[in-house]
A and B are shown apart, each in its own frame.
Chain A
């Protein structure tokens, strides 16, 4: 019996006690394509990081055999030496350097004193021919389109004598023509006996390209099946197939009149040809929890940034809040009209790590405490801090402790406290429970229901479908910048959302 090229056996990987991978095994022969499917956060990326050596040997349980040998990689360089190359969603090219310089970056030909430009030039031309990229080796990478850059990455991998190529969401930012070219190249690499692990949400590509499909859910290996036997619906039901459980403490609450009306929201990075949000209109009602689902990159976060005035490109939208047209060009303006937001990236946009928990909580409302000579009335401030820490059950030894010492869940609660202190009418929560343990999640859900009962309206963006269904009153689904579906939570299933978020096709608004 011949050995498979790649054999991962029972991979288990935990992060501070939470299992991200729970015994995943995959096998792959040379010249085969294996696709890995799963929801956001299901463990796909973690598995690829284990395979590519980002997580070194010893930091996970289980074994990886490559071409029959046990892999004991401690860095990415080790796995690259074996012929395993990963191409990430965010390309790792230096835009200022030429195609040739990028391909040979770190592996330059020639001696220390003098580079062998002729040899590198020749080799680059050969590699570019293999990936059918018709550009000169001296072209700066920054002048190429995203699809072409993707091909440069593949050429770079070929230069390292790749045996196993890992493509992580390679087509998420490509146009249809670019996708076709890329898929063709992968098929040709197959002919040259190069194996490929393909990660994508686009199930039509997955089925067209792969020999095998592996589905991962919550770190568990659900199944590996021959692609020929599968339909898109099979894959989707394997991806989500979990029952809603008691995780979501839904409470009855009254939903009133429309409080926010957004029309024709459009957002575009300056210079980009594709808009990140395209003509989105929706309404939010008094006391309602509106869930927004969609894949990463579907424009959910960008839509929220438009509402909160934090989008960093060009954007416009007609926003009507309680019957009044409002213009929101900055975060300050948003807070003034009564819109607060808990951002997606807690570390970058949420906390000031070296400041204390208390100081973080009052950062948005310092003017409320300003007294004589602009001084902050700290007694009044501390009173509010203690009040909100108690109300939101932020677990901290003291309000004076640096917020960086708190767990993710407690940091999140502190940021929510910061938002609540501004007494918003509308609270936007972008991925409110990402990276948070189950207990804190539950408390945050509870809090959300308490808030809507008090008359606040909540918009929640989430990648966790179970959360979207379990908490929201109504769910909007976004797809490639557009609003593609709108559902009531009753009778809503994860399959329905997934179908709407993944499949190309008619909108269901």
Chain B
């Protein structure tokens, strides 16, 4: 009966199980070094950039489009941030704002071609992939722009002071429980049937425990890395947008059946352009984190990052046919990819093997998805 709910839950469980399997395997293989606080801190810091990119990408994929320009765009935006910072000594806040505005503009540019000029997004963003990289190399003359200022380093390299981190996570946990309570009350008020109280609260409890456990591990190293803090904020914001806003709803509808959505009076062109604009802003955030972490703007930065982002979305259950996908899934996908990278590096697996394994995992994930859908 509740087929859709079941499959999405199944997918979630499969992903969590895969994650658990990866963690257990690498923990044993590395004699526990994989789950040391220092490594976990590193691992999720590595996830931050692909994670932010995946958030933007999953919106694009849900609307049944693709963005191949993300890697080059991240390189270009990172280069712009570095140039503003190093060459022009812009104050950090202005650098951030200008970079994000530039990201929005590039995204809207892509979106305009896709939505209003009806050029397939594959082509538009393939063109962007080439052109953005070209602009970057032209701007920087092919040289690295360095060193960036200490204030820019805060974005990618610092840690949140533990008092702040703990109180924010604490609030988050309280918020989670309060939300479950409020929803149950509202449903009761409207006469809608509630799921079992035990089930709903224990789900919230698991989330709280995971958050607190993560906080504990991170605090026992150096605290919450700032990029993760940013990623966390973006996850909350993007999940809200995808699930709770009219914009998000229309996005899924467009991916599910663009013609029917248009017939329903939705401005599908504008919505699509906004999706690309949003993606551009996410790329800008990722670019800021990247430049800050590298301490430099490099002409090769972000090479092939779009493929990581797409892979993360797809492993996280998004369908390239559109209409299906979730922010949380994409983040899990990014985490799985980063864990594989990190674990294999720790085990000194040669790079070529790492590529092969990642490729096969991607294939396997989609194959499983296709299989389970057919089995229905």
| Chain A complexes with chain B | yes
Chain A contacts for B240, CB-based, 8 A: 373, 375
Chain A contacts for B105, CB-based, 8 A: none
A349–B3 touching, CB < 8 Å: no
| A363/B3 contact (C-beta < 8 A), A350-B260, A354-B323 known | no
A383–B324 touching, CB < 8 Å: no
How many residues on A have C-beta within 8 angstroms of the other chain's C-beta atoms?
Answer: 43
Give the docked Cα–Cα distance between A378 and B179 (Å): 14
B246–A367 touching, CB < 8 Å: yes
Q: How far is the CB of A308 from chain B (nearest CB, A)?
A: 8
Partner of A363, one of B1, B241, B247, B249: B249
A382–B265 touching, CB < 8 Å: no
Chain B contacts for A331, CB-based, 8 A: 262-265
B230 at the interface (CB under 8 A from A): no
| A359/B257 contact (C-beta < 8 A), A375-B240, A398-B1, A400-B5 known | no
Give the docked Cα–Cα distance between A168 and B267 (Å): 39
B35 at the interface (CB under 8 A from A): no
B256–A353 touching, CB < 8 Å: yes
Which residue of B192, B261, B264, B266 has the most chain A CB atoms within 10 A of its CB atom? Answer: B264
Partner of A348, one of B247, B256, B259, B324: B259
B1–A341 touching, CB < 8 Å: no
Give the docked Cα–Cα distance between A350 and B249 (Å): 16
Chain B contacts for A356, CB-based, 8 A: 4
B245 at the interface (CB under 8 A from A): yes
B262–A402 touching, CB < 8 Å: no
A335 at the interface (CB under 8 A from B): yes
Among residues of A, the one whose C-beta sits closest to the C-beta of B253 is A352
B2–A398 touching, CB < 8 Å: yes
A401–B261 touching, CB < 8 Å: no
A444 at the interface (CB under 8 A from B): no
A422 at the interface (CB under 8 A from B): yes
B132 at the interface (CB under 8 A from A): no
By a beta-carbon cutoff of 8 Å, the part of chain A in contact with chain B is 308, 310, 330-332, 334-336, 341, 343, 348-356, 359, 363-364, 366-367, 369-370, 373-376, 378-379, 382-383, 386, 397-398, 400-402, 405, 418, 422
By a beta-carbon cutoff of 8 Å, the part of chain B in contact with chain A is 1-5, 186-187, 189-190, 192, 240-241, 244-247, 249-250, 252-253, 256-257, 259-267, 323-324
3 residue pairs, one from A and one from B, having the closest CB atoms: A366-B246, A352-B256, A335-B265
**19 A-B pairs (CB sep. < 8 Å):** A310-B263, A331-B264, A332-B266, A349-B263, A352-B252, A352-B253, A352-B256, A353-B256, A355-B252, A355-B253, A355-B256, A363-B249, A363-B260, A364-B266, A374-B245, A378-B244, A379-B192, A400-B2, A402-B3
Q: A352-B253, A354-B256, A374-B245 are in contact. List 9 more A-B contacts (CB 8 A).
A: A334-B265, A354-B324, A355-B256, A366-B249, A379-B187, A379-B189, A401-B2, A401-B4, A422-B265
